[in-house]
Amino acid sequence: MLIIPAIDIRDGKCVRLTRGDFNQQKIYLDNPLDMAIIWRKQNAKMLHVVDLDAALTGETVNFDKIRDIVEALDIPIQVGGGIRSLDAVKRYLDIGVSRVVIGSAAVTNPELIADLLTRYRPSRIVVGIDAENGIPRIKGWTESSGMQDYELALEMKKIGIERIIYTDISRDGMMQGFGYESTKRFAGKAGMKITASGGVTSSEDLRQLVQLQQYGVDSVIIGKALYECNFPCQEIWYNYEGGICLDRNFSTARTR
């Protein structure tokens, strides 16, 4: 089970939201690059970076911040948030992003997905489905798609998408455990490679996730639980400042 730390960027800062609510925000670090370096020093094999401003506006507001992360780290970076055009996808892939995550556009413009798959390998294009009670929400989780989550997945599968990032919105940022049943239901109906996201809080949640490997769940994105040091492995970090266990040398460390 590949564990992928999440870095959400808003107004150029590293933040976490509760259930995607922009009014429930906590700032962890002013510079997302510093956070990326912490996760890399903790041996992260991949990072999941989201431009929250772009998720609302469709404009790549934090592009420069994301480019800094890609240039500084030596591991794959996947990026999501407001990627709704061929130009936006090309711009990210051209700077070395490993794969892009398409969310809203999978609902509003499925032709874009088909076009992208004629230009790029399926491993470079991932669809993100953020669902509440089984219904995908789009545009920064502010609108309903009006369809079932697995129906959207099956449409994407027909086009050629191989991987879905599935988020149970009701669990995201709540620190109350992930949606085991909702994820199992979705993965079982989709029959695709699944990256789980939203609500993973403890080592017990990870043990439960392992049980879903038979349904195609092979990786998990973890956000707030890592930032709040919920896992025993994080005891090796030296300091605890504002909810983050910081390595005293992180500000000067680089991986490349």
Q: Average pLDDT, whole number, for the chain?
A: 84
255 lies in a domain?
A: no
At residue 139, the pLDDT reads 66
Residue in the block written with tokens 């989780």? 141
Domain contains 253: no
pLDDT over 50 at 2, yes or no: yes
In the set 8, 149, 172, 205, the catalytic residue is: 8
Asked whether the beta carbons of 229 and 11 are under 8 A apart, the reply is no
Angle at 247 between CA 243 and CA 249, to 5 degrees: 135
CATH number (domain holding residue 122): 3.20.20.70
Flag whether pLDDT at 147 surpasses 50.
yes
How much of the chain is helix, strand and coil, in % rounded to 5?
40, 30, 35
pLDDT single digits (tens) 158-167: 999 999 999 9
pTM here is: 0.85
Q: Give the residues across from 127 on adjacent strands.
A: 102, 164
Number of compact structural domains in the chain: 1
Q: Is residue 236 in a domain?
A: yes
Q: Is residue 210 part of a domain?
A: yes
Residue 59 has pLDDT above 50, yes or no: yes
Structural domain span for residue 215 = 2-246
Report pLDDT for 142.
59
**pLDDT of 175 strictly over 90:** no
Give 86-142 pLDDT, tens digit per residue. 999 999 999 999 999 998 889 889 999 999 999 999 999 999 998 888 888 876 555
- 51 tagged catalytic: no
Which secondary structure element, helix H or strand E, spans residue 129, and what is its range? strand 125-132
What does the alpha-carbon distance between residue 255 and residue 249 come to, in Å, rounded to a whole number?
Answer: 13
Assess whether 94 carries a catalytic annotation: no
- The catalytic residue among 51, 130, 172, 205 is 130
Please state the separation of Cα 194 from the chain's center in Å: 12
Single-letter code of the amino acid located at 90: K
